[in-house]
Chains A and B, each alone.
Chain A
Amino acid sequence: MARARINNRIRRLRFDHNEMTQEELAGRVGCTRQTIIALEQGKYVPSIELAFKIARAFGVPLEEVFQYEE
Chain B
Amino acid sequence: MSISQKTAWAQLAIFGALVIAWLVLFITNGTIFYWQNNTMKITFYWLCAAAFAGLVLMNIVASIVKNRTKSVTDERDRMIFRKASLWATGTSYTVVVALLLALAITYMNGASETVPVNFPLFIVFVGGVTLVLTQAITALIMYGRKVNYGES
Given the contacts A32-B2, A34-B1, A34-B2, A45 and B150 also touching, CB distance less than 8 Å: yes
How many chain B residues have a CB neighbour from A under 8 Å? 17
Of the residues A31, A42, A49, contact of B76 by C-beta under 8 Å: A31
Count class of interface residues, chain A: 10 to 19
Which residues, 58 to 89 on B, are CB-close (under 8 Å) to A?
70-77
Please state if A26 and B71 are interface contacts (CB–CB under 8 Å): yes
A38 at the interface (CB under 8 A from B): yes
A61 at the interface (CB under 8 A from B): no
Residues of A within 8 A of B145 (CB): 43
Residues of A within 8 A of B74 (CB): 30-32, 35, 50
A47 at the interface (CB under 8 A from B): yes
Bound-state CA distance A32–B80 (Å) is 14
Please state if A44 and B71 are interface contacts (CB–CB under 8 Å): no
B-binding residues in A (CB < 8 A): 26-27, 30-32, 34-35, 38, 42-47, 49-50
Given A32-B2, A32-B73, A44-B147; 4 other pairs, CB 8 A cutoff:
A31-B74, A31-B76, A45-B148, A50-B74
